[in-house]
Structure 1
């Protein structure tokens, strides 16, 4: 069995890139022949994937004469220089399509895959099926691809017409599965909920000394739609503000990020901005944290929530669609995770202003409740938490996909 992993943007830099890396790693451990096709800037052609023979790497190069713009990102806020799909004009799109189809042909003719695992229900999977209608294509949804249907109306007719030609579409959760079925004209049983995964060799709990302060982590893009300003406002009102520290980890390379990071200086609470850090350092850091918080307005199925739980941190998270269904009741009963009610949204990731105060109060209430449990030294059954995560590893996800190879 020969697998071609495909991603229209840079591997390892976002959630979908981590999916590609980890599924490749699992496939390598299972002795599959594998290749990777991805979009990268010309100055960074190493995909950063362990055990990938570079003769089996097929890069689509951006910032070249052929594609004279940065890699096109599935999110409008990316952790690197990028182009928005909504900014593509007809000339840019034609160049984009031509460049990808050229490399798809090279990859398929050279590597001869039996199956393609394509990340995002978007343009790349349609290009592959255009060229090779009989090649089996499995497409992983990451949530941001569904949002592009609203962001990039020029491209919607192409995607709507051609996505149903793919063999199977995989959703992160049941809510997303339902949304995909409502958006596309699909056959019965063409959409499957596959979930996400984590690496238990990297993310695991340790016995540790009690922190001098309660250590809280936020990990993700430093931007408004992730709820970071609301988190900062809420935590500053905590009755425990002198006994807690908040650590912000993630890329802050856009204008709104700079404004958010600058606001740290005037907060009562100790807030540390650590920037983006490597996966192994992130895993080590999570093992030292008491609480992980994600007040985001939009996600697919955030990998970092599972990674934080596996590392021994208690989680506070917005009630993102499908997350509770995927993680189950046991984690709530064990007080491993608490959900913040999502404010009403005027579009996919922008809350109504009149709901913000209540949202921030809910964040504060949950932070104070978990802090009190820690101060009171309440028993936390971490072994039972880890047991509930046993089927949520990358090996588990790979096995769920392999049924459809």
Structure 2
């Protein structure tokens, strides 16, 4: 059995890139022959996938004569230089389709895959099925692809016409699965809720020493859509402000990211921007964090929430669609996670102005609540939390996909 993993953007740099590399590792563990197809800038045509030995790598090269623009990203703000799908005009699209189909043909004819695991319900998946209608194609939804339906409506007819030809569409949660069924003309049995995964060898709890401060960590893009300006405002108003330390990890691009980082300098709270960290440093950071916080307005099923829980941190997150359903009630009963009420949104990732004050107060309240538990040494049954996460590993996810090979 041969598996081709496909991703239209740079692997190893975003949530979907993590999916690709972790499923690749699971495939290696199970003895499959595998190849990777991905979009990369010309200067990075070697695979950027966590030092994995990928013998069969098929890059679609951007910033070349054939594709004279940066890699196109599924989010409008990527942790590297990128192009927005909403800015793709007819000429750019024609170049994009031509180059992707050229490399898809090369990969299929040389590697001869039995199944393709394609990331995102978007253009790349339609190109594969358009060229090879009989090649089994499993498509993973990451949430950002559903968001692009709103942001890039000129590309929607292409996607809506061809996506139903894919064999299976895998959703991160039941809410997302229903959205896919509502948006696309697909059979119920084509849409499967598969969830996400984590690596228990990388993310696990350690015996913790009492810190002088409660360590709070955010991991993700440095962008307004992640709720960061509101988190920075909210932590200033906590009762325990002097006992809190907030570390922001990740990258952004453009003025938006710069403005967020600059705003830290004017705050009295202990806030540090650590930039993007190598994987081993990120694992260590999560293991030494008391709280992980994600005040985002839009996500699929954030991998880092599961990784943070597995590392022993308590989590504060917006009540993102499907997250509570995926993690279950027992996680809440163990005080492992608190949900911030999602404000009413004007666009897919921007709240109405009159909702912001209440949103920030809710963040402040949750930070005070959880930090008080930690400062007062309230018992936390982390062993029970880890047991609840046992079926949410990458190997478990791979096994769920494998049933459809």
TM-score (norm 1): 0.99
Q: Distance in 2 between matches of 1:254 and 1:9?
A: 19
Change in 2 beyond 3 A, CA 1:10/1:183: same
Residue aligned with 1:169, SS? strand
Question: For the Cα contact (< 8 Å) 2:181–2:188, is it kept in 1?
Answer: no
Secondary structure of 1:242's aligned partner: helix
1:212 — aligned with what? 212
Is 2:202 the partner of 1:196?
A: no
Report the Cα distance in structure 1 between the residues aligned to 2:284 and 2:47, rounded to whole angstroms: 23
- Deviation string 1:155-182 (CA, Å, 9 cap, x unpaired) is 1000000000000000000000000000
C-alpha separation in 1, matches of 2:233 and 2:72? 33
Residue of structure 2 equivalent to 1:400: 400
1:100-124, CA deviations, whole angstroms, 9 ceiling, x for partnerless residues? 0000000000000000000000000
Q: Quick one: distance in 2 between partners of 1:56 and 1:8? A: 16
Q: Which string of whole-angstrom CA distances, capped at 9 and with x for unpartnered residues, describes residues 229-252 of structure 1? A: 000000000111111110000103
1:79·1:251 contact (CA, 8 Å) conserved in 2? yes
The answer to whether the 8 Å contact 2:12/2:50 transfers is: no
- Taking the aligned partners of 2:386 and 2:188, their CA distance within structure 1 comes to 35
Q: State the 1:277 CA deviation.
A: 0.6
TM-score normalised by L of structure 2: 0.99
Kept after mapping to 2: 8 A contact 1:25/1:50? no
Contact 2:80 2:252 in 1 (8 A): no
- Partner Cα distance (1:265, 1:50) in 2: 33
Asked if 1:383 corresponds to 2:383, the answer is yes
Aligned to 1:86: 86
Counterpart position of 1:286: 286
8 Å Cα contact 2:341-2:362 kept in structure 1:
yes
Distance 1:226 1:187 in 2: 33
- 1:350-361 matches, within 5 Å, as 350-361=350-361
When residues 116 and 229 of structure 1 are mapped into structure 2, their CA distance, relative to the original with a 3 A threshold, is same
Contact 1:35 1:52 in 2 (8 A): no
Query: Which residue is equivalent to 1:159?
Result: 159
Give 1:53 shift: 5.0
1:51 and 1:76, CA in 2 relative to 1: closer, same or farther beyond 3 A? closer
Deviations 1:225-276 (CA, angstroms, capped at 9, x unpaired) = 1000000000000111111110000103221111111011111110000000
Kindly provide the CA deviation profile for residues 140-166 of structure 1, in whole angstroms up to 9, marking residues without a partner as x.
000000011111111100000000000
Q: What are the Cα deviations for residues 190-240 of structure 1, in whole angstroms up to 9, with x where unaligned?
A: 100000000000000000211111100011111111000000000000111
Instruction: Give 1:329's aligned residue.
Output: 329
Structure 1, unpaired ranges of 5+: none
Equivalence map 1:120-269=2 (5 Å): 120-269=120-269
For residues 333 and 393 of structure 1, what CA distance do their matches in structure 2 show?
Answer: 22
Q: Deviations 1:7-50 (Å, cap 9, x if unpaired)? A: 00000000000000000000001100000000000001122335
- Sort the Cα spacing of 1:383 and 1:55 in 2 relative to 1 into closer, same or farther, 3 A: closer
Which residue does 1:111 correspond to in 2? 111
Q: Would you say the 8 A contact 1:220–1:250 is kept in 2? A: yes
Gaps of 5+ in 2: none
Distance 1:187 1:370 in 2: 43
Secondary structure of the corresponding residue to residue 91 of structure 2: helix
For this pair of structures, how many residues does the alignment match?
A: 405
2:189 is paired with a residue whose SS is coil
Asked whether the equivalents of residues 252 and 275 of structure 1 are also in contact (C-alpha less than 8 Å), the reply is: no
Alignment of 1:1-16 (within 5 A): 1-16=1-16
